[in-house]
Amino acid sequence: MKKVLIPTKLAAVARETLLTHGGYEVVQDESSELAALVGAHADTHAMIVRSEKVTAEIIDALPQLKIIVRAGAGYNTIDTKYARSRGVDVMNTPGANANAVAEEVVALMLADARHLIPGDISCRAGKWEKKQLMGSEITGKTVGIVGFGAIGQLVAKRLSGFDVALMVFDPFLKDKSAYDLGATPVDLPEIFESCDYISLHMPENDETRGIINKDLIGRMKTGGTLINCARAGILNEDDFRALKAEKQLRLLNDVYPKDEAGDKPIADIADIMLPHLGASTKEANFNAASRAATQIMGLDDKGIASYIVNRDVPEGLDKAYSELAFSLAHLCRGIAGGNQHVEVLETSFYGELATYKDWLLVQVLAALSEEFDRSQGYDAALEYLKEKGVEYFNRETDSSKGYGNSITVDVTTAVDAANFKRISVRGTLAEGNMMISRINDFDKLYFEPTGTALLFIYKDRPGVIGQIGRSLAEAGLNINDMRNPHDLSGEYSLALLRVSEAVDCEVVSKISGEIEALHASCIAF
């Protein structure tokens, strides 16, 4: 019998499901301290947690531990890296609480618009402040949804009855998916410029941390409302604080750096604060509990590894190829403009890399979308692509081409409803270093994707490289490396440069105009 420890308040369905299986002993105790439970049950095989902190010390105290399941989406309270070093798989249950969070967003909007909280307090105090508590209606407003995954799509569905105009941003979204839900896909700045309400539904990671900053907040409409039921770190609180009074902004908040009692630094700028209640419904608790139990059984009985969030590099694969796959897709995204909606994704894994195509797809997808964590599994990747309406093809490779161990990533993005842009890049390793060997029709580049790269495509003629060099020098930038090939027709040239430091977008625009570039990109690797 394998022991499963559930040191948290969780729906009984998890325990019942595991006991029905017949191969598990279940210990569920929500009142005892986690350290005490771990000490009493050192033979634990699997553990289901919610917001409990699973530290290296906890993992060390459970020598037989093989699985930790977070009954919910976020797993920042679990030391996933240390768990991997001890051979412990960490899983989550994304989507189980999606409807609960979506309904909370609508509840916050209504409570704020109609002053329900101060109205209740006032009325209980014997006051009758009807005039002072005049509210507004959601109907007819424009609502922006940042992140159009499971929760974002449910927010759109729940708001459909309010006759609102919906705008959505998601860099990995097929336009049809948005239109089917009555929403218009736009870029991130337009969301902040046009919407009365903006609801955030993105993960917190290195790419998204602090992404809601003074630039975007400064674009908000006067009197606009920001709703954060996602993660605390995606909002730069100081930037919001600096602009709140001037722009009469409102903030409805349910997330914090730590889920615990005590003073909250956001208290002075949040108009409504809730103690992370997004997933706190009986239904969400049931769904997460059921999923957690099912995933433990699936991994033990059938090796189903979906939703493992701390996978290591597969045995036999050089980690550098994992980074190469990520860098190639990152380059595609940068050339496409970063926030274009992906319609089609195609990959080719040559040589021995064909064996690791499933793993490498995860790395490609993680570079294309900050919503997708690169430590997840292949099944989760396929499900994510399906959810976003993206067509995916992995091409069979021909070893006779002599590409060795290399990777090709092709991304087709929608420029608008009738036009598409296709970016194709190939790369390999040379003496252990990543090398970009081809970008579209510009071949034999052998350019290392590190630091800051500038890319210009222009009609070939003398003097262009000199002009680029002069303009960079005027901006105080040095060229560390450069490639300048023609395309197959000989009509167009590519200037691909690695520069000494980050480049202001105004410098890139200035150079692009001076050389009459057909395309200009700045990509930070």
Cα four-point dihedral sign 174, 176, 180, 184:
positive
Helix (H) or strand (E) holding 175, with range, is helix 175-180
Closest by CA position to 279, among listed 52, 105, 27: 105
CA-to-CA distance for 14 and 17, rounded, in angstroms?
5
Q: What is the DSSP string of 393-453?
A: EEPPP-GGG---SEEEEEEEEEEETTEEEEEEEEEEEETTEEEEEEETTEEEEEE---SEE
pLDDT in tens, the chain (525 residues): 999 999 999 999 999 999 999 999 999 999 999 999 999 999 999 999 998 999 999 999 999 999 999 998 878 789 988 998 888 999 999 888 899 999 999 999 999 999 999 999 999 999 999 999 999 999 999 999 999 888 999 999 999 999 999 999 987 766 667 888 889 988 899 999 999 999 999 888 777 899 999 999 999 999 999 999 999 999 999 999 999 999 999 999 999 998 889 999 999 999 999 999 998 899 999 999 999 999 999 999 988 877 888 876 777 788 889 899 999 999 999 998 866 778 899 999 999 999 999 989 999 998 998 788 776 778 888 988 988 889 999 999 887 777 889 999 999 987 665 667 899 999 999 888 899 999 999 999 999 999 999 999 999 999 999 999 999 999 999 999 999 999 888 899 999 999 988 888 899 999 999 999 999 999 988
CA-to-CA dists, residue 400 to 350, 397, 405, angstroms: 10, 9, 12
Contact between residue 272 and residue 90 where contact means Cβ atoms under 8 Å apart: no
Closest by CA position to 296, among listed 9, 7, 23: 23
Query: What 3-state class would DSSP assign to 503?
Result: coil
Contact between residue 427 and residue 324 where contact means Cβ atoms under 8 Å apart: yes
Domains of the chain and any CATH numbers: 2-96+282-302 (3.40.50.720), 98-273 (3.40.50.720), 319-524 (3.30.70.260)
CA-to-CA distance for 233 and 54, rounded, in angstroms?
20
Strands, sheet with 433-439, edge to edge from the N-terminal-most edge strand: 391-394, 341-349, 406-416, 419-430, 433-439, 442-447
